[in-house]
Amino acid sequence: MKCQDYSLNRQTERENLNLNPLQRGGVLPPESRQALYEFSDGYSVCDYCAGRLDEISKPSINSFLEDMARFIGADYARTVHGAREGKFAVMHALCRPGDTVVMDGNAHYTSHLAAERNGLNIVEVPSSDDPEYRINAEGYRETLDELNDMGEDVSLVLLTHVDGNYGNVTDAQAIGKVAHDAGIPFLLNCAYSMGRMPIDAKRWNVDFVVGSGHKSMAASGPIGILGVQEEWADLILKRSSLHQVKELEMLGCTSRGAPIATLMASLPHIIHRVNKWDVEVEKSRYFVSEMEKIGGVRQIGVRPTEHDLVRFETPFFHRIADKHPRKGFYLYEELKKRNIVGIKRGQTQWFKCSVYGYSQEQVHYIANSFAEIATKYKEMAD
């Protein structure tokens, strides 16, 4: 069989300033790039395995998981292949087909799919209207009261801590309390927060917490974290009846090579960086204020933003696209000329972006580049 050359090169994308919110939190520090090289073979962490991934002591996955659990305020931590697999595992262990799970109206599609694959009914707590799309504890209380009045049993309450559309940071502690007052366990999806900002599952009334290594924890994917409190450990981490040492919901073992090696190497880095979250939020607010100096550009979602993921409505750039010979592609192309990528090609009506991890000078350069493009095509927007 003839096969084309698949050797890959991503140098250009790596060297540009990448504003895609999906990419910002997954950039590896140098020590993790080294780990990636050392552990790039498939089963590379399994040389000294005595039966189960989370018990391996060389490399020290066992103590890494204890440190991770402490970092997120959970009693136990396991690696999974992503936040979605963590949600699926919790639902699979806890709920029965036909049960109802209550989740926020801003929930990620993977929460829907995890529920669907488990045969669960989804009831959503609506967000507030445009432009805030806010999710609050009162909404959860009302929805749970209504379901209770209808005689509907709810087996799980799920909240997206930070949603992927607006970057709204919700009050997990208050919603966790509502869930517990109703006697229902609480699952917090921290894909956009764990590894970026401090998480305290115990203080926030969280029974199960999931995070995403490739999204927010400076790791090569696919990898995620599932945190579980003591009360639920026997259920979620129950052993197989056929292979006594193996944990059923983990299908025995999860991540077995580069993803877990990079996440381990990145743990000190992310423990350190979450303490500087305030600086990131300030940087993000500065970026929003600079962008909003361009006529008609407006940040959507809760204001001032409390996260690095920001969504802008950009009618100004959209009007230019109507007249520009390159149509909607001009914005992407103009940014690329300035070594900025991450805004989807052809998208001008609105876009999401993030300046997480960039220096103040880089943020200034990025904001200035948008302003420069706006000035260049000002006439076309009139």
Which helix (H) or strand (E) covers residue 21, if one does?
helix 21-24
164 binds ligand PLP (CB under 6 A): yes
191 binds ligand PLP (CB under 6 A): yes
Q: Of the two residues 141 and 215, which places its CB atom closer to ligand PLP in the complex?
A: 215
Is the C-alpha dihedral spanning 20, 26, 30, 35 positive or negative? Answer: negative
Q: Of the two residues 260 and 320, which places its CB atom closer to ligand PLP in the complex?
A: 260
Stretch that binds ligand PLP, among 157-165, 239-247, 262-270, 354-362 (CB under 6 A): 157-165
Q: Residue 155, exposed/middle/buried by CB under 10 A (0-12, 13-18, 19+)?
A: middle
Determine the distance from the C-alpha atom of residue 131 to the mean position of all C-alpha atoms in its chain, rounded to a whole number: 22
255 binds ligand PLP (CB under 6 A): no
Long-range CB contact pairs, 139-147, < 8 A, 24+: 140/102, 140/104, 140/175, 140/178, 140/179, 141/178, 143/102, 144/102, 144/178, 144/179, 144/182, 144/184, 147/100, 147/102, 147/123
Q: Of the two residues 19 and 374, which places its CB atom closer to ligand PLP in the complex?
A: 19
d(CA 291, CA 165): 18
Name the β-bridge partners of 226: 78, 210
In whole angstroms, how close is the CB of 352 to ligand PLP at the nearest point?
10
307 binds ligand PLP (CB under 6 A): no
110 binds ligand PLP (CB under 6 A): yes
Ligand-binding site membership of 189 (annotated): yes
Pick from 65, 91, 102, 108: which binds ligand PLP (CB under 6 A)?
Answer: 108
- Report which of 129, 131, 106 is spatially closest to residue 292, judged by C-alpha positions: 131
What track of x and - describes contact with ligand PLP for positions 198 through 237 (by CB under 6 A)?
--------------x--x--------x-------------
d(CA 344, CA 328): 10
65 binds ligand PLP (CB under 6 A): no
Q: Residue 219, exposed/middle/buried by CB under 10 A (0-12, 13-18, 19+)?
A: buried
In whole angstroms, how close is the CB of 86 to ligand PLP at the nearest point?
8
24 binds ligand PLP (CB under 6 A): no
356 binds ligand PLP (CB under 6 A): no
Query: How many residues sit in the footprint of ligand PLP (CB under 6 A)?
Result: 15
- Are 379 and 323 in contact by the 8 Å Cβ rule? The answer is no
Q: Of the two residues 224 and 301, which places its CB atom closer to ligand PLP in the complex?
A: 224
- Are 227 and 83 in contact by the 8 Å Cβ rule? The answer is no
Read off the tokens for 278: 């305030």
- Report which of 201, 150, 193 is spatially closest to residue 175, judged by C-alpha positions: 201
Pick from 143, 189, 254, 266: which binds ligand PLP (CB under 6 A)?
Answer: 189
Stretch that binds ligand PLP, among 82-90, 130-138, 171-179, 288-296 (CB under 6 A): 82-90
Stretch that binds ligand PLP, among 39-47, 57-65, 76-84, 271-279 (CB under 6 A): 76-84
283 binds ligand PLP (CB under 6 A): no
Q: State how far the alpha carbon of 99 is from the alpha carbons of 83, 116, 176, 187, 232, in Å.
A: 21, 11, 19, 15, 18
Ligand-binding site membership of 212 (annotated): yes
State the residues that interact with ligand PLP by CB under 6 A. Answer: 22, 82-84, 108, 110, 160, 163-164, 189, 191-192, 212, 215, 224
Q: Which residues are annotated as a binding site?
A: 83-84, 189, 212-214
